[in-house]
Chains A and B, each alone.
Chain A
Amino acid sequence: MDDLVVKGAIALVIFYAGLLIIACAVLFLGYVLVESIVSGNYGLFLSIIGCVLGAVAFYSATGLLLHRKGII
């Protein structure tokens, strides 16, 4: 089989698997957040929210930095 097609198929499998993992992680995180509120574990809830906000800030800052440096 053609090299381009084989590598393309492998890349697609990795790409969709990545999307699936991200979707599962988001669902799991949502589930843990709801669980923590229902069980009254506000410390866990705030910790997860803090981590998510930190990750979003880091992600956004990296994107902006790459944009400012002209890499993207």
Chain B
Amino acid sequence: MDNREEACVQRGAGGWRTNHSIRFRDNNWCRESSMSHVLISPLNWGLGHATRDIPIIRTLLEHNHDVTIAACGNALLALKKEFPDCSFLEFPDYPVPYSSSRFFLPKLAASFPALLQAIANERKTLEQILSRNRYDLIISDNRLGVYSAKIPSVFITHQLHFHFPLFLWPVELLALRVNGYLHEKFDKIIVPDNPPGSAALAGKLSRPSVEATWERVFFAGILAGIERSDVPSDLDHLIMISGPEPQRTRLEEILLPQVSSLAGNNAVLLGSPAKEGLRTVTPGCTVIGYASTAEKIELMNRAKCVVCRSGYTSMMELAELDKRRALFIPTPGQTEQEYLSWYYRGNGWFYSETQYRLDLPRDLAIAQTYAGFPHMSKTKENVKRLYDEVLTGYLT
């Protein structure tokens, strides 16, 4: 039997709708397929974007949709491991403007032409991808050029509002306008955070400021790629050293000599793929060169107190696991992490300290006096609501 699949994409008042039917040669419409095809593309600046997309991909697969993952580098590798049955496309993204020094902003400003060139290449590659396959929905996680005028496109970001040092306030105002312009390219902006207010995990970063963003925004709540498990909390401190080099190594050099002064049962994750296989066990402390995702999740579940960078994905993971005790060390020069640390400290949620002034025993004692994140809905509930209220509107 020679079947032919036809797709009809319509955009009406209620948004986009896709209808698929299988039509036999005699032109009789026989059955409706329940399957839509989703292209999901996370940015490969660290694993955070790929990680928070895991519950979304899982939900799409549970609803029998086809998912093609277009990414590059470690993000692609991590998702291949997590979803071996999905289709994958190598899709290069942008150069990371991380700086080896504190001068993140000048380096970021100097990298704009390379960033624009990368977006131009991204647009061309996307056109090629879309011409080879039929997609019903595009989900872009912080990839500015991954959208189409012909296919419903949604954008996942927790940064509706970029934070700059106060003396650069005109740049911050300008960035709001630029963000608004970029958001107009998408049908929906999905923010993995609670709505603005006392429980907003990203503070002003996830606060819409321009009309184009307000019209499109959907606050999904936290989306973490890890789950809480019932294991005993037998680890006093879990120290996670992560992030881009060379700051990761610098933090390792600062933290490791201080760990021996901590009491109790402790573990240190160096987060260095080059040190995979390294495992040093001393009384009261285990140092692991590179932990698998499963091992990291298990250790996080077991930890009473976590020491880590203040990247937003880590924050969502701590909120998901209901961790109340943590110490944050922002990556120098990364304005987002510096803002989040300041915001949590100001709210009395978590203590933070710069790596240059870190005194682990003293800072951990102070960290015990902070209250932790307020109660909030968890990923399982959030991703269900996201699917029911947003994604299903674009899918069959």
Contacts and interface: CB of A to CB of B under 8 A. Distances in A.
Contacts, number: 40
B84 to A, nearest CB: 34
Interface of B: 109, 112-113, 116, 119-120, 123, 144-145, 166-167, 169, 172-173, 178, 181-182, 185, 204, 209
B116 A5 contact: yes
B166 A9 contact: no
Contacts of B113: 12
Interface in A1-18: 2, 4-5, 7-9, 11-12, 15
Contact of B112 (A15, A63, A66, A67): A15
Contacts of A8: 116, 119
A7 B116 contact: no
Looking at chain B's contact residues, is the secondary structure mostly helix, strand, loop, or mixed? helix
A72 interface: yes
19 contacts: A2-B120, A2-B123, A4-B119, A4-B123, A4-B145, A4-B182, A5-B116, A5-B120, A5-B123, A8-B116, A8-B119, A11-B178, A12-B113, A12-B116, A15-B109, A15-B112, A60-B167, A71-B209, A72-B166
A43 interface: no
Interface of A: 2, 4-5, 7-9, 11-12, 15, 19, 60, 62-64, 66-67, 70-72
A4 B144 contact: yes
Given A4-B119, A4-B123, A4-B145, A72 B112 contact: no
Among A9, A67, A71, max chain B CB count under 10 A is at A71
Given A67-B169, A72-B172, A7 B181 contact: yes
Contacts of A63: 166-167, 169
